[in-house]
Chains A and B, each alone.
Chain A
Amino acid sequence: MRFASLRPRHPGIVVLTAVTALLPLVLANKYFYEVAILVGVNAIVCVGLNLLIGYAGQVSLGHAGFFGLGAYGVSILTGAYAWPPLAALPAVLVAVALLAAAVGRPILRLRGHYLAMATLGFGMIVSIVLVTEDRVTGGPDGMAVPPFTAFGFALSDERAWYAVVGALLVATVWLAHNLIDSPVGRALRALHGSEAAAAVSGIDVARHQLIAFVISAALAALAGALAAYYAGFITPAKAGFMHSIELVTMVVFGGQASIFGAVVGAAVLTTLPQVLTAFKDYEMIVYGAVMMGTMVVMPRGLVPTLAQAVRRSAPAEAKR
């Protein structure tokens, strides 16, 4: 018992670390690395978004806005103002977190569809500003992002980027798990279950909703910044409505209130369009179909549904 805290509480985190570490063995070329890095970036957003949607039960249709702010924030600071990336990144994360707190305070009072509409509005404002402020952002054509340099080295090799994104994803999953297993995480899950009961149990509902909103916004901004530095170029589409919808679809498909569900959802739905390149024009139709299919066949999402199936069959086998 003394070393209980050293035992991995979730076998999933060991699996995720192993998969992340061993995946390069099958990543045959640059293109595979590109897809894997994109999966990692989306997974980081989804783990954060799942804290908000899956655990705290608050819908956001505007998280691509935070992703875009992260991306444009670092590229403007590193490009136009020549900040070193290691200073630009934390500055942008703090700024986005503060903005999320300022935006979240009034809109998190809204419930259900009204909150979804408000976050949608926020995302649209960000997207419109990025398009129209073309002197700073390059407008609809997007802008080039200087490479990520630190300690005299430029991060350009795919393998190095894969290692950075992979390590950050594992760290994000670990932090998210710790959070969920703490008083704060229980408070989030409780207010999702019954807001009135959570409040009379001593939980400051508004404060905890805001915590989930700010954490998820900061993670979206981190992912946006990574994507921008890695790709070396960004367009306002990444801050747009469609990207927000993609992110929510990943969370719902993978499994609400499941951290690994968010990772799996991001992995499947990021890879799927690459596999279906022949259907490129129908990508959004595929997304829509996946969303509808998930809601009908497994409303709890892929990972929780599979986990339950495994749990159900396990005792049956033990009896035999």
Chain B
Amino acid sequence: MSALSAVGLSKSFGGLRAVRDVSFAVPAGSVYAIIGPNGAGKTTLLNLLTGVYRPGAGRIFVGDRDLTGAPSHEYAAHGVARTFQTPQMFVNMSAIENVMVGRHCRERRSLVAAMLRLPSMLRSERASRGAAAGLMAFVGLADRLDADAAALPYGAMKRLEIARALASSPGVLLLDEPAAGLNPSEARELTALIGRIAAGGVTVVLVEHNMRVVASVSRRVLVLDHGTCLAEGAMEEVRRDPRVIEAYLGTETEAHARDPVAV
């Protein structure tokens, strides 16, 4: 069964057709990559898949549930979590509180229990804090629990955002260019982290420019170009697809052969 799928998805901004008739299915338990040149519509697609934008046409399924047109928080409630290209920290909160926000849809949210600080709320808060601390250790930020989220280094923010996304116990995790702005050793650590997340049974959808990261963690890939789906399938097949080589991967793999990190 597919964890996340789209049928005939389209989105226009004025005259610009950012995403045109894109269909794909992400198999559960896999690492699925979405690649394409700048402006290909990758981030727009991710925004559609998390309810940030409403699609102009087409349908989106999470598991077998149709969530087309639902607001973002409902995607989260049904197990879709994501990170952003530039980390979106909650700047007025500590690192661990940022992660605890991620648990929002799994927490007890009664206003009365919260204001009176009833025992049920205290238990729920303790559980949240424990889970958040565990996730921060998982992404390698165990020593930064009470750090000011806005003051973290860039790489740490990216990992904190992943911890926050994982806090909702998602079935599908969408990562928007997680390796962007990271140095090669940080990118390697990140690749290992994505592997550990996938090994834990979370389906990962990866939007990425860094081909080394994509090639080392994902087996299936969707190639976007000018908002349309150029190719979709197993990594090896897509790499050999002449259209892909012509439009995007060809020059990229040549560059890749010379310098495996630069893209």
Say if A and B assemble together. yes
Q: Is the CB of B101 within 8 A of A200?
A: no
Nearest B-chain residue to A176, judged by Cβ = B115
Contact string, B91-107, partner A, CB cutoff 8 A, digits 1/0? 11100011011111101
Q: Is the CB of B164 within 8 A of A182?
A: no
B124 to chain A, nearest CB (A): 8
Whole-angstrom distance between the alpha carbons of A203 and B107 in the complex? Answer: 11
Residues 64 to 93 of chain B near chain A (Cβ within 8 Å) = 71-73, 75-77, 81-82, 84, 88-93
Q: Is the CB of A198 within 8 A of B92?
A: no
Our count of residue pairs bridging A and B at CB distance below 8 angstroms stands at 108
B92 to chain A, nearest CB (A): 5
Say yes or no: is B121 at the interface (Cβ < 8 Å to chain A).
yes
Q: Is the CB of B114 within 8 A of A199?
A: no
Nearest A-chain residue to B105, judged by Cβ = A202
Q: Is the CB of B93 within 8 A of A183?
A: no
In the bound complex, residues from chain A placing their C-beta under 8 Å from that of B93 are: 186, 189-190, 193
B73, B82, B84, B92: the one within 8 Å of A192 (CB)? B92
Q: Is the CB of B117 within 8 A of A187?
A: no
Q: Is the CB of A200 within 8 A of B114?
A: no
Q: Is the CB of A186 within 8 A of B97?
A: yes
Q: Is the CB of A178 within 8 A of B116?
A: yes
Q: Is the CB of B51 within 8 A of A183?
A: no
* Residue count of chain A within 8 Å CB distance of chain B: 28
Whole-angstrom distance between the alpha carbons of A205 and B121 in the complex? Answer: 21
Q: Is the CB of A211 within 8 A of B104?
A: no
Whole-angstrom distance between the alpha carbons of A194 and B101 in the complex? Answer: 12
B69 to chain A, nearest CB (A): 14
Contact string, B146-172, partner A, CB cutoff 8 A, digits 1/0? 000000000000000000110110000
B91, B105, B117: the one within 8 Å of A193 (CB)? B91
Q: Is the CB of B88 within 8 A of A204?
A: no
Say yes or no: is A5 at the interface (Cβ < 8 Å to chain B).
yes
Q: Is the CB of A200 within 8 A of B82?
A: yes
In the bound complex, residues from chain B placing their C-beta under 8 Å from that of A205 are: 73
B117 to chain A, nearest CB (A): 5
Say yes or no: is A184 at the interface (Cβ < 8 Å to chain B).
yes
Q: Is the CB of B101 within 8 A of A203?
A: yes
B73, B89, B125: the one within 8 Å of A202 (CB)? B73
B157 to chain A, nearest CB (A): 12
Residues 199 to 236 of chain A near chain B (Cβ within 8 Å) = 199-205, 211
A175, A182, A189: the one within 8 Å of B90 (CB)? A189
Say yes or no: is B109 at the interface (Cβ < 8 Å to chain A).
yes
Q: Is the CB of B114 within 8 A of A202?
A: no
Q: Is the CB of B115 within 8 A of A179?
A: yes
Whole-angstrom distance between the alpha carbons of A197 and B115 in the complex? Answer: 25
Q: Is the CB of A199 within 8 A of B52?
A: yes
Say yes or no: is B111 at the interface (Cβ < 8 Å to chain A).
yes
B169 to chain A, nearest CB (A): 11
In the bound complex, residues from chain B placing their C-beta under 8 Å from that of A199 are: 51-52, 71-73, 76
Say yes or no: is A257 at the interface (Cβ < 8 Å to chain B).
yes
Quick one: which of A182, A187, A194, A200 has the most chain B CB within 10 A?
A200
Whole-angstrom distance between the alpha carbons of A183 and B129 in the complex? Answer: 11
Say yes or no: is B50 at the interface (Cβ < 8 Å to chain A).
yes
B50, B90, B111, B124: the one within 8 Å of A190 (CB)? B90
Say yes or no: is A196 at the interface (Cβ < 8 Å to chain B).
yes
Whole-angstrom distance between the alpha carbons of A24 and B81 in the complex? Answer: 54
B131 to chain A, nearest CB (A): 13
B51, B102, B117: the one within 8 Å of A201 (CB)? B102
Contact flag A193-B107 (CB < 8 Å), given A182-B125, A200-B52? no
Say yes or no: is A185 at the interface (Cβ < 8 Å to chain B).
yes
A265 to chain B, nearest CB (A): 18
Q: Is the CB of B104 within 8 A of A203?
A: yes
Nearest B-chain residue to A55, judged by Cβ = B92
Whole-angstrom distance between the alpha carbons of A211 and B73 in the complex? Answer: 16
Say yes or no: is B215 at the interface (Cβ < 8 Å to chain A).
no
Q: Is the CB of B109 within 8 A of A201?
A: no
B52 to chain A, nearest CB (A): 6
In the bound complex, residues from chain A placing their C-beta under 8 Å from that of B84 are: 196-197
B71, B92, B102: the one within 8 Å of A204 (CB)? B71
Say yes or no: is B122 at the interface (Cβ < 8 Å to chain A).
yes
In the bound complex, residues from chain A placing their C-beta under 8 Å from that of B256 are: none
7 shortest interchain CB distances as A-B pairs: A202-B105, A202-B76, A182-B114, A193-B90, A197-B88, A199-B72, A194-B88
A-B contact pairs, 30 of them (CB 8 A): A175-B116, A178-B116, A183-B107, A183-B114, A183-B124, A184-B114, A186-B93, A186-B101, A187-B104, A189-B90, A189-B97, A190-B98, A192-B92, A193-B88, A194-B88, A198-B90, A199-B52, A199-B71, A199-B76, A200-B76, A200-B81, A201-B73, A201-B102, A201-B165, A202-B77, A202-B102, A202-B105, A202-B168, A204-B71, A257-B92
